[in-house]
Structure 1
Amino acid sequence: MSVYTSPFNPHSGQPLSNSLTPIERKLVVLTQSGLPIIPKPFEWLAEQLQVSVAETLVIIKQLQQRGVIRRIAAVPNHYRLGYRYNGMTVWDIIDSQAKPLGKQIAQLPFVSHCYLRPRHLPEWPFNLFAMVHARKQATLESYRSQIRHVLGNACQSDDILISSKILKKTGLRLLP
Structure 2
Amino acid sequence: MSTCTSPSDNGSTLDEQDRKLVLATQAGLPLVSDPWGALGQQLGMDHEDVLSRFQRMQETGAIRRVAAVPDHYKLGYRFNGMTVWDVRDDAIAEMGQRVGELPFVSHCYRRPRHLPYWNYNLFAMVHGTSRDEVEAKAGQIRKLLGATSAGDTILYSSAILKKTGLRLRKEKATS
1 or 2 for the larger relative contact order (CA 8 Å, sep ≥6)?
Answer: 1
Task: Tell me how far 1:175 sits from its aligned partner.
Answer: 0.7
Q: How does 1:12-91 map to 2 (within 5 A)?
A: 12=8, 19-91=13-85
- Match runs of 1:1-176 below 5 Å: 10-12=6-8, 19-114=13-108, 116-122=109-115, 123-176=117-170
Q: Which amino acid aligns with 2:111?
A: P
Kindly provide the CA deviation profile for residues 38-73 of structure 1, in whole angstroms up to 9, marking residues without a partner as x: 222222223334333333233222222333322322
The two structures have a TM-score, normalised by structure 2, of 0.78
State the superposition RMSD in angstroms: 2.7
Q: Which runs of 4+ in 1 moved over 6 A?
A: none
Structure 2 unaligned blocks of 5 or more: 171-175
Partners of 1:143 and 1:149 in 2: CA distance: 10
Higher-Rg structure is 2
Alignment CA distance shift 1:80-1:155 (3 Å): same
CA distance in 1 between counterparts of 2:91 and 2:59 reads 27
The gaps in structure 1 that reach 5 residues or longer are: 1-5
**CA apart distance, 1:134:** 0.8
How far apart, CA to CA, are the structure 1 residues paired with 2:40 and 2:150?
A: 49
Do 2:13 and 2:62's aligned partners in 1 also have CA atoms closer than 8 Å?
A: no
Give CA deviations for 1:63-109 in whole Å, capped at 9, x if unaligned: 22333322322222222222221112222333443333233223322
Percent sequence identity is 46
Q: As a proportion of its length, which structure holds more strand?
A: 1
More moved, 81-90 vs 92-101 = 92-101
